[in-house]
Amino acid sequence: MIEPVELPTKIGIGPLLGPGQNLASVSDKISGVVLNRKTTLGWIAGLFVSFMLMQGLLLGAGVLFLKGVGVWGINIPIGWGFAIVNFVWWIGIGHAGTLISAILLLLNQSWRNSINRFAEAMTMFAVACAGMFPVLHMGRPWLAYWLFPYPNTMNIWPQFRSPLVWDVFAVSTYATISLVFWYVGLIPDLATLRDKATKRFHQVTFGALALGWRGSAMHWVRYEQASLLLAGLATPLVVSVHTIVSFDFAVSIVPGWHTTIFPPYFVAGAIYSGFAMVLTLMIPVRQFYGLKDLITVRHLNNMAKVTLATGLVVAYGYMMELFFSFYSASTYEGFMMHNRMFGPYGGFYWALITCNIVTPQFLWSKRVRTNVPILFVISLIVNVGMWLERFVIVVTSLHRDFLPSSWGMYYPTVWDFAVFFGTIGLFLTLIFLFIRVLPMISIFEIRMLLPAQRVKEPVK
Amino acid sequence: MPQIFHHSSNTLSKISIISALVVLGGVGAALFELMADSSYATNQGVMRVQPVQFSHSHHAGSMGIDCRYCHTSVENAAFANIPPTKTCMNCHSQIWTNSKELEMVRASFRSDESIPWVKVHDLPDFVYFNHSIHVKKGVGCETCHGRIDQMPLVYQKNSLEMRWCLDCHRNPEQYVRPPSEVFTMGYKPPEDQLVMGARLVKENHIQKLDNCYTCHR
């Protein structure tokens, strides 16, 4: 019997694990959510609401396929409406997962151990939602495979000089690496579940998914090698994917898009929104599943710090946009910025500044960072703000074309909203299923944090 | 605790993963490619039954009627023209006037209603194609349509896939002939095709038009 050990309080706020945890309690606590715990009414209600919301996507996509993109509010000059706004928003949300799992792993940040699994799952579900939008926006989605360079009867390749093609590779690589990384990380835990399971069905399911993991030293060596390699592969993706997404805009010549600040500013924005989304999801989950000892206030505090730091980079990006519209001395740039602030969509711009620049400033205060309900509200506001940012970038840049005769307005229709909220439903449905059927916190990585695991080299 | 899986599952799972990748990926891709290129998809080589059993091999081959006698607008318009019944009746009011085969033609002439010919070479509506410029620049009828003078019932000789169009549009010297020889069937270039083709491309100012908007306007 292993005695519960009190962990020493670390620098910062509180320990990484709550008091009284040991090897057995960690495994029981996390695997119990999947294996033993009864399906709660709250979970069923949550899944039901998300599932109903997801029907909006089904309906919206169905109507879209029948009637074409005309059911959306897009027009000329605003050819990119909600679809692209949502695409960028979702793909940005995914970035926190990759940052947590890859970069923080390479930097030996052990606090990532209790949030990486969840964040990686969130990444994959967000990428799934994101990937849908360009396809839906295509007009003839059944020809989406034309995006890939495959031997075809037309004897042509996709336009490799177009950032939209780079996007296909960036996003599909990202989805693949995220999936593999997530699954490789799951294997030891799936084996734990297999060993703890008592029902035959659970044993066989988790056993098949564990791919014959026996936890031998050789397995662990290979596991460590694989996860380091995957982390190395995924690290550039944290930067490259959203850089390429920003190229979709920056490579064009539209005032408000054609900016060199876009790649770093988009990457920071992506991590910013991603961490906000991790907070939005983790705070209720740790509450309802009694995981406050595993996802402690210290984790929330750290994530809030990352949110603040990336939020400041984003704020710098906004300031540079403003500065360069003046410094470029281009009439069109100047007009675009003036129109963005005081034009018909001015309200959205100021809402975005409030959500993305003003709100995160509260995170300078340690009291705010450790106050869980306030942190939850701030994370929600940042999520909204980052959506508004993409809306402002896409719509206000397009709706005032170079020629006043081509000016227009964008009004989203009910089908725009149906598809948007539908993907939120899809995302939440997947999250609910994930926390029910898979260990949402990495069991073996938490066990590594325990003092019992700290094997010291004998002093000679 | 007893083993959950039999020892053989290790081998079985390895085989199934690899074979799933190979079978689904490889066979799927191969099938797709074969389907896309098949005559089922392109109609290449499929003989079409026409309302009147008109034989090009008889009229254009044995009789030696020039293509332009019926397809009058081929040199001046996008569409080569399906001849009106009156063109048939130019001869058939005099010969084979009692032929059963031709009853439909005479009926059409009397009633002034067109014979519902079946279109054999049907490009998609999103492709712009113009016969006149091809004829003027020296693309022979047979280059695209094959030996019409040997076809009892006309069929599509080539696939009409985009790569087939681009094959010539990117390197026209492989196929062009002197404009005077456009309507010749069974044309043999007097010198090496590539040498003659390169010269003709220069002489006749044949452009390598391979922009999207050349055909997709």
* Chain B residue at shortest CA distance from A153: B163
- The verdict on whether omega for the bond into residue A19 sits within 30 degrees of 0, i.e. cis, is no
- Count residue pairs from A and B with Cβ separation < 8 A: 35
- Tell whether A198 lies on the interface with B, counting CB pairs under 8 A: no
Provide the pLDDT for residue B87: 94
Nearest Cα to Cα of residue A148 among A124, A167, A120 = A167
- pLDDT class for A345, splitting at 50, 70, 90? very high
CB pair distance less than 8 Å for A152 and B4: no
Q: Which of B1, B4, B123, B167 should be substituted to probe chain A, the one whose Cβ sees the most A Cβ atoms within 10 Å?
A: B4
- Tell whether B46 lies on the interface with A, counting CB pairs under 8 A: no
Provide the pLDDT for residue A389: 95
A166 pLDDT above the threshold of 60: yes
Q: Cα torsion for A235, A240, A242, A243, to the nearest 10°?
A: 140
Provide the pLDDT for residue A452: 65
A73 pLDDT above the threshold of 70: yes
Provide the pLDDT for residue A32: 79
CB pair distance less than 8 Å for A153 and B167: no
For chain A, percent of residues with pLDDT exceeding 90: 65
- Tell whether B194 lies on the interface with A, counting CB pairs under 8 A: no
Least Cα separation, residue A320 to chain B (angstroms): 39
CB pair distance less than 8 Å for A153 and B159: yes
* Chain B residue at shortest CA distance from A200: B4
A420 pLDDT above the threshold of 90: yes
CA distance B166 to B181: 22
CB of A24 closer than 8 Å to CB of A453: no
The interface residues of chain A toward chain B in range 156-175, judged by CB-CB distance below 8 A, are 156
- The per-residue pLDDT string of chain B (217 residues; one tens digit each, 9 = 90 and over) reads 678 888 888 888 889 889 999 998 888 878 877 888 888 888 999 988 999 999 999 999 999 999 999 999 999 999 999 999 999 999 999 999 999 989 999 999 999 999 999 999 999 999 999 999 999 999 999 999 999 999 999 999 999 999 999 999 999 999 999 999 999 999 999 999 999 999 999 999 999 998 999 999 8
Least Cα separation, residue A69 to chain B (angstroms): 19
Chain A positions touching B33 (Cβ under 8 A) are 151
- Tell whether A212 lies on the interface with B, counting CB pairs under 8 A: yes
CA distance B8 to A343: 70
Mean pLDDT of A385-402: 94
CB pair distance less than 8 Å for A153 and B161: yes
pLDDT in tens, A23-57: 788 888 888 778 877 788 889 999 999 999 999 99
* Chain A residue at shortest CA distance from B36: A153
- Tell whether A211 lies on the interface with B, counting CB pairs under 8 A: yes
CB pair distance less than 8 Å for A154 and B10: no
- pLDDT class for A2, splitting at 50, 70, 90? very low
pLDDT in tens, A276-314: 999 999 999 988 888 888 888 889 999 999 999 999 999
CA distance B197 to B202: 9
A454 pLDDT above the threshold of 70: no
Q: Which helix (H) or strand (E) holds A200?
A: helix A200-209
CA distance B108 to B114: 6
- Tell whether B4 lies on the interface with A, counting CB pairs under 8 A: yes
- pLDDT class for A109, splitting at 50, 70, 90? confident
Span of A412-421, A439-448, B143-152 with lowest mean pLDDT: A439-448
CB pair distance less than 8 Å for A155 and B163: yes
Mean pLDDT of A226-250: 92
Provide the pLDDT for residue A14: 66
| Prediction ipTM score | 0.71
